[in-house]
Structure 1
């Protein structure tokens, strides 16, 4: 490639980048900052487990929640229909079916279709980035309940309404 061809190719790339930047500015979704103390709150889910909603994105069916517990807690057997990413903030947690145990700073990826039983050690907090639904099973392996981002959003809204808190619609996009 000659110097002139290289310059023309570089100009073309630069022009395309400018056009793409303009499209992103015009049509792209804005960055979102959620202050974990001011913009959202903990609410009771089940047993000793509390949930904090960080994000509900209805177009892709993804949602980001944190779970925490003071005493040791267990969440029944369940299956994810989409990928789950987990970030351990504090404490320890894992699944009875696996040999690993998450500790602060650990990252876990869970593949769709896996069935497992969550446990969380006392004082644990974990953030889960979930896609799709979660199916919960009874001890006899019959389906008990299906939950998704709308379920967690509903619980958040109900908690806010019951406690006179303003629903932060900025968590839903």
Structure 2
């Protein structure tokens, strides 16, 4: 049987992509496509994301630190891999400085204290924010982000 090669495998090395900061959050964007976005975050201890859910699945790997979802009471430490099913509602709370890789399908829907939708974030808006943070810091926009 003869196999033909498909399209080349895309790749990016994290050392080629700058880290930018938005207050207590460091951000590195590795991939953005219409369906999936991949980011790496460095969160400072004490940081808390608003309560939110995702329209698709999320996979995450913790490189360092300790964090949790306030609703579940489970600490995720270095080496932990998690899967969030679509629609799970949670509040990410950082217990120790943490470095986490997220593979996100769909959008991130944020809620205010009353349970109303207060924001929607997707891959495109995250990439635009990343570029704006690069621009503000005087960092050239990276060219290696995968589609």
Partner of 2:21: 44
**Higher Cα Rg: structure 1 or 2?**
1
CA-CA distance at 1:65 after TM superposition:
0.6
User: TM-score of the superposition, structure 2-length normalised?
Assistant: 0.91
2: CA distance between counterparts of 1:113 and 1:141? Answer: 14
Structure 2 unaligned segments of length 5 or more: list them. Answer: none
CA-CA distance at 1:68 after TM superposition:
1.1
CA-CA distance at 1:166 after TM superposition:
2.3
User: TM-score of the superposition, structure 1-length normalised?
Assistant: 0.79
- What is the RMSD computed on CA atoms of the aligned residues? 1.5
Pairs aligned (count): 147
The structure whose residues are more often helix, as a share, is: 1
Equivalences for residues 20-39 of structure 1 within 5 A: 20-22=3-5, 24=6, 28=7, 30-37=8-15, 39=16
Q: Are 2:39 and 1:65 equivalent residues in the alignment?
A: yes
SS at match of 2:50: strand
CA-CA distance at 1:36 after TM superposition:
1.6
Indicate the structure whose relative CO is greater, using CA pairs within 8 Å and at least 6 residues apart.
2
Partner of 1:99: 73
CA-CA distance at 1:164 after TM superposition:
2.9
Contact 1:76 1:117 in 2 (8 A): yes
